[in-house]
């Protein structure tokens, strides 16, 4: 997977906002256009609202996580890749051709949409068989049964999907997406609404499917989900590609960002002076909310704060991250 974001491009439409371009592309990687999924300066806007802005990346085999907060543009990107939406600018190709208005490409991809809208009057088996028939598979019954076995839903296959739990609906959608054995799988928030056991099962399933050589791209707004299942990650924030590459490198970037904590203690003023005398803290501010502390070395701060408080005879009542939302992490990555 490579990330290439040219510095200059067509002027964004009104409402695009101001963005700092993400870091330059890594020096090595596959040649442009050779990967199953390629976005080249793709943008998509709805009137004055920009959902995806000048995004360039490639996705190769294995599992890639499309990570970003809600509303970041993940579904728009997946929609463009799956041919559900045309890009307003740039190009999006799937297996070498644009999916938009090319229904033949659906022979080689499987899509699990975010909205788990399964025809309620059909049984799970009938729904997957219907998908197989629409794919033109000769023995649709056998293909449906195999796909249902893969997602471990054999016992409930003959029940109407109206009686399924959210997790079961996600799995039957995955079975329908897998029924024609596609080399590329696109999943929009596949872990949404799943309980921990179902989530674990889905993760194992995706890893097994990737081990068989498939290209899997899934979106999520939960960092831990992506961390546990994806080999590569694409971080999307405000419609832009904020970072991409190996998950460990992205994770390091996220950990290295300055962290702000609110501390309540028996003597905030003295604690502030003590902390500033050391090296773990780069700034401290007293306010009505308590003591605001800013650090770039999270590990050292975690070790030193209780020790310094103990040495100074100060009681710690509360240590709370002030700005630890995923959005702030993504915003930080975009600024870098």
Partner 1 sequence: MIGTIGRVTLQALLARRRALLMLLLAAVPVLIALLSRLRGSSGDAIGQTADALEPMAIGMLLPLTALVFGTAALGAEIEDGSAIHLLTKPIARWRIVTGKLIAAVPVVAVLIGASTLLTGVLIGGERGAMGVTLAFVAGVVVGSVLYVTLFVALSILSSRALIIGLIYVAVWEGTLAGLFEGTRVFSVRQYVISIVAQLDPSDRVRSATTLDWTTAVLGAVVVFVVAFGVAVWALRRYQIAAGD
Interface contacts to partner 1, rule CB under 8 A: 51, 70-76, 78-79, 82-86, 101, 103-107, 109, 111, 113-115, 117-119, 121-122, 130-131, 133-136, 176, 188-189
Q: Which two tokens stand for residue 229?
A: 């299942």
Nearest approach, Cβ of residue 103 and partner 1 (Å) = 5
Comparing C-alpha atoms, which of 287, 288, 282 is closest to residue 304? 282
**Distance (Å, whole) CA 36 – CA 288:** 54
Q: What are phi and psi of 123, to 5 degrees?
A: -75, 165
Nearer to partner 1, 58 or 189 (CB): 189
Q: Half-sphere exposure (CA, 13 Å, Cβ side) for 128?
A: 36
**Distance (Å, whole) CA 325 – CA 330:** 9
Nearest approach, Cβ of residue 332 and partner 1 (Å) = 21
Nearest approach, Cβ of residue 196 and partner 1 (Å) = 23
CA R_g for the chain: 24
Nearer to partner 1, 4 or 220 (CB): 220
Nearer to partner 1, 79 or 90 (CB): 79
Taking CA atoms, 221 is separated from 65, 72, 141, 251, in Å, by: 10, 9, 36, 14
Nearer to partner 1, 122 or 296 (CB): 122
Nearest approach, Cβ of residue 47 and partner 1 (Å) = 13
Nearest approach, Cβ of residue 52 and partner 1 (Å) = 9
Comparing C-alpha atoms, which of 23, 61, 16, 26 is closest to residue 209? 61
Neighbours of 325 (CB within 10 A): 11
Nearer to partner 1, 104 or 288 (CB): 104
Nearer to partner 1, 176 or 235 (CB): 176
| DSSP line for 238-281 | TTEEEEEEEHHHHHHHHHTS-EEEEEEES-HHHHHHHHHHSSS-
Q: Which two tokens stand for residue 271?
A: 């604690």
**Distance (Å, whole) CA 96 – CA 233:** 22
Nearest approach, Cβ of residue 75 and partner 1 (Å) = 4
**Distance (Å, whole) CA 247 – CA 6:** 23
Nearest approach, Cβ of residue 100 and partner 1 (Å) = 9
Nearer to partner 1, 76 or 274 (CB): 76
């Amino acid at each position: 997977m490579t990330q290439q974001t040219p510095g200059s491009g067509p002027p964004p439409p009104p409402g695009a906002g101001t963005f700092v371009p993400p870091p330059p592309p890594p020096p090595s990687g596959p040649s442009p256009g050779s990967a199953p999924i390629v976005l080249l300066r793709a943008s998509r806007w709805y009137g004055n609202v920009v959902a995806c802005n000048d995004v360039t990346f490639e996705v190769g085999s294995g599992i890639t996580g499309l990570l970003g907060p809600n509303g970041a543009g993940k579904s728009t990107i997946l929609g463009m890749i799956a041919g559900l939406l045309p890009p307003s600018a740039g190009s999006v190709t799937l297996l070498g051709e644009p999916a938009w208005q090319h229904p033949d490409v659906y022979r080689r991809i499987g899509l699990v949409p975010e909205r788990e809208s399964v025809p309620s009057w059909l049984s799970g088996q009938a729904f997957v068989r219907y998908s197989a028939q629409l794919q033109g598979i000769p023995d649709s019954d056998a293909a449906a049964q195999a796909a249902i076995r893969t997602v471990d839903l054999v016992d409930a296959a003959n029940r109407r999907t109206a009686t399924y739990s959210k997790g079961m609906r996600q799995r039957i959608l995955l079975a329908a997406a897998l029924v024609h054995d596609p080399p590329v799988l696109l999943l929009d928030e596949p872990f949404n609404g799943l309980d921990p056991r179902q989530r674990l099962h889905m993760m194992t399933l995706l890893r097994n499917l990737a081990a068989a050589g498939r290209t899997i791209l899934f979106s999520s707004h939960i960092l831990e989900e992506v961390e546990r299942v994806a080999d590569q990650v694409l971080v999307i924030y405000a419609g832009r590609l904020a970072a991409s590459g190996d998950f460990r490198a992205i994770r390091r970037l996220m950990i290295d960002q300055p962290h702000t904590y609110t501390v309540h203690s028996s003597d905030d003023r003295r604690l502030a002076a003590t902390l500033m005398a050391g090296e773990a803290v780069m700034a401290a501010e007293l306010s009505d909310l308590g003591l605001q502390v800013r650090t770039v070395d999270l590990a050292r701060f975690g070790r030193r704060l209780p020790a310094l408080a103990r040495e100074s005879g100060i009681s710690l009542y509360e240590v709370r991250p002030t700005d630890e939302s995923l959005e702030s992490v993504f915003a930080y990555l975009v600024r870098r």
